[in-house]
């Protein structure tokens, strides 16, 4: 892959988990990184760590469900660095809510961040990408929704499946302008968000993954870095599954030799 030196990369939802790993990966490859998160204080803390390590980064607060907020993020980025080369629309939320008791507010909150948030993040950076006739957009989807299902996550699954429809149509529309649009589809990832689950449950989940472990946030960050590379310009409209083979077995019997 090519050097990302001085490329301007925005990563939403990057104060922790997958987004933080993405920010670290791009910064270590020489990019100027915007650590953007609903928690502005945490975003600034991550950016400060990167700067202390010798990288270029700023931290910004953003509510991806608000166009005013995403446009302010893009404006602040452009004012600081004069361009935007990569948008990693990664911000997401996954509260569990059984369908019979799910409220309209529950549904709207998850769709607002996980689906609308990706659209608004992309919309905010498009003016600069269109001007420069170049851009790499990577949206975080999931295997849940597009490929698999999980009880209690109908809103999350609907949003993540919708992300792929958005990615394909946006890729078609933006291809003539030198802008690629792709998605990463993580399987089960060991992030702080799994802290509420028991070790027994986590062990069972890990046993269902053919490579024998859950993904780390870095595994997903490497995939985003590949899709954001200047040399990945002929890859657009795709969803890159990063799940250690989690979606491959038909059943537990498929593991038997």
- Please identify every residue annotated as catalytic: 156
Shortest CA distance to 197 belongs to which of 96, 93, 101?
A: 96
* Separation CA 229–CA 23 (nearest Å): 14
Q: Which helix (H) or strand (E) holds 241?
A: strand 239-242
Residue 17, number of CB atoms within 10 A of its CB: 19
* SS3 label, residue 139: strand
Q: Cβ contacts of residue 256 below 8 Å, gap of 6+? A: none
Region class of 6: left (phi > 0), else alpha (psi between -120 and 50), else beta = left
Q: Which helix (H) or strand (E) holds 54?
A: none
Shortest CA distance to 250 belongs to which of 212, 208, 211?
A: 208
The packing angle between helices 104-114 and 154-174, to 10°, is: 30
Which token pair is 181? 């649009």
Tokens 């990288």 map to which residue?
55
Q: Cβ contacts of residue 74 below 8 Å, gap of 6+? A: 10, 84, 124, 125, 127, 128
* Separation CA 62–CA 163 (nearest Å): 20
Shortest CA distance to 63 belongs to which of 139, 121, 144?
A: 121
* Separation CA 122–CA 240 (nearest Å): 19
């Amino acid at each position: 892959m090519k050097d990302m030196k001085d490329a301007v990369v925005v990563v939403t939802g990057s104060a922790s988990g997958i987004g933080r790993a993405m920010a670290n990966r791009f910064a270590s490859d020489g990019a100027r990184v915007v650590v953007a998160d609903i928690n502005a204080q945490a975003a600034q803390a991550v950016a400060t760590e990167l700067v202390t390590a010798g990288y270029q980064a700023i931290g910004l607060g953003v509510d991806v469900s608000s166009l005013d907020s995403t446009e302010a993020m893009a404006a602040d980025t452009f004012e600081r660095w004069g361009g935007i080369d990569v948008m990693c629309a990664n911000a997401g939320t996954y509260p569990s809510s059984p369908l019979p008791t799910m409220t309209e507010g529950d549904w709207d909150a998850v769709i607002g961040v996980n689906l609308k948030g990706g659209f608004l993040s992309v919309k905010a950076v498009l003016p600069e990408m269109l001007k420069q006739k170049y851009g790499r957009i990577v949206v975080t989807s999931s295997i849940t929704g597009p490929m698999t299902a999980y009880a209690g996550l109908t809103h999350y699954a609907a949003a993540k499946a919708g992300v792929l429809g958005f990615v394909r149509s946006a890729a078609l529309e933006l291809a003539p302008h030198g802008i690629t649009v792709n998605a990463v589809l993580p399987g089960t990832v060991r992030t702080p968000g799994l802290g509420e689950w028991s070790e027994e449950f986590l062990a069972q989940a890990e046993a269902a993954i053919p490579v024998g472990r859950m993904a780390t946030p870095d595994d997903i960050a490497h995939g985003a870095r590949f899709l954001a590379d200047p040399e990945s310009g002929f890859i657009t409209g795709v969803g890159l599954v990063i799940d250690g083979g989690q979606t491959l077995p038909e059943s537990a019997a498929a593991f038997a030799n």
